Amino acid sequence: MKPGQFAYHAPKTVEEAVAMLATVAAHEGRVLAGGQSLVPAMALRLALPAHLVDINGVAGLERLATDAGELAIGACVRHARFERPVVEGPLGRLLAGVVRHIAHYPIRTRGTFCGSLANADPASEWCLVAATLGAKMVAKSVRGTRTIAAADFFQGMMATALEPDELLVEARLPILPPDTHSGFYEFNRRAGDFAIVMALAVYRIEHGVIVDPRVGVGGVEGHPRRIAAAEAALEGRAPAIEAFRAAADAAAKAVEPIDSKPELAGYKRDVTRTAVRRALEAAEKSL
């Protein structure tokens, strides 16, 4: 199928882009970033925007830089940029390990980190990373700039705190301390498919026990999120299989799988248990 009719806008600056969005947002206006989710949806007429504001020519949005203890990722930074560590230490390694699970290489050369966050697919790897690490999203509109914490940004399946006239100009991830362990595990049927279930685990060790654990799960609920019960099962315990199993059990109990087939909920809990345990085992071996 072919997309419906739309007007195409190509701003050159962020100011022009947000001014255009202010004009068209109320008339089915949408941002076009990598187009790897929006264009297929338009081709299938699942999305019928009347206006596209293409941000690919906007100056400065390809910025990827460390800044005040954070990695700032501009709106036009493509997935493929992360295939080699973009920053020294655990964060660069974590992102390089996760990115190869996103789609296929041609898609990774166009699709953007921020586009994935704005699209908020429940099985998006970058949404899991952002939710687990506590990313900050910087949104701009003609009304000004605001920063939204990951815990408030993801609101449900394909739903975020962004207003229709807001441009996500950058996402900011905390630079992880050098002694941070991290592990990611994704279960899907074919390489390149969206995850059925995925888990990300991050922690540090002090005096032989786990501190600052973060455990996130994606693909199961409306959006990826941290699982507090799993983190509580790890805090202060030795990084060994007993603690990992306790955290995995806690995660399997805590998640509320959403699925078109309710009978799959038990299956998703089981895969969550395995995914969390494997992410923790990978984290243990990561340094």
Ligand X SMILES: Cc1cc2nc3c(=O)[nH]c(=O)nc-3n(C[C@H](O)[C@H](O)[C@H](O)COP(=O)(O)OP(=O)(O)OC[C@H]3O[C@@H](n4cnc5c(N)ncnc54)[C@H](O)[C@@H]3O)c2cc1C
The token pair that represents 226 in the structure block: 């941290």
Residue 32: CB minimum distance to ligand X, A: 5
Asked whether the beta carbons of 90 and 54 are under 8 A apart, the reply is no
Q: Which of residues 106-135 bind ligand X (CB under 6 A)?
A: 107, 111-112, 114-116, 118-119, 121, 124-126
Residue 2: CB minimum distance to ligand X, A: 17
Q: Which of residues 56-75 bind ligand X (CB under 6 A)?
A: 75
Query: Position 257: which residue type?
Result: P
Span interacting with ligand X, options 62-70, 105-113, 213-221, 265-273, rule CB under 6 A: 105-113
Rg of the chain over Cα atoms, rounded to whole angstroms, equals 19
3-class SS at 102?
A: coil
Q: Which listed residue (18, 20, 25, 31) binds ligand X by CB under 6 A? A: 31
Per rule CB under 6 A, is residue 276 in the interface with ligand X? Answer: no
Nearer to ligand X, 114 or 248 (CB): 114
Per rule CB under 6 A, is residue 35 in the interface with ligand X? Answer: yes
Q: How many residues does the chain have?
A: 287
Q: What is the DSSP letter of 100?
A: T
Q: Output the CA torsion sign for 82, 218, 154, 283.
A: negative
Per rule CB under 6 A, is residue 168 in the interface with ligand X? Answer: yes
Asked whether the beta carbons of 141 and 22 are under 8 A apart, the reply is yes
Residue 262: CB minimum distance to ligand X, A: 24
Give the integer Cα–Cα distance in Å for 180 and 214. 11
Interacting residues toward ligand X by CB under 6 A: 30-38, 40, 75, 102-103, 107, 111-112, 114-116, 118-119, 121, 124-126, 162, 167-168, 194
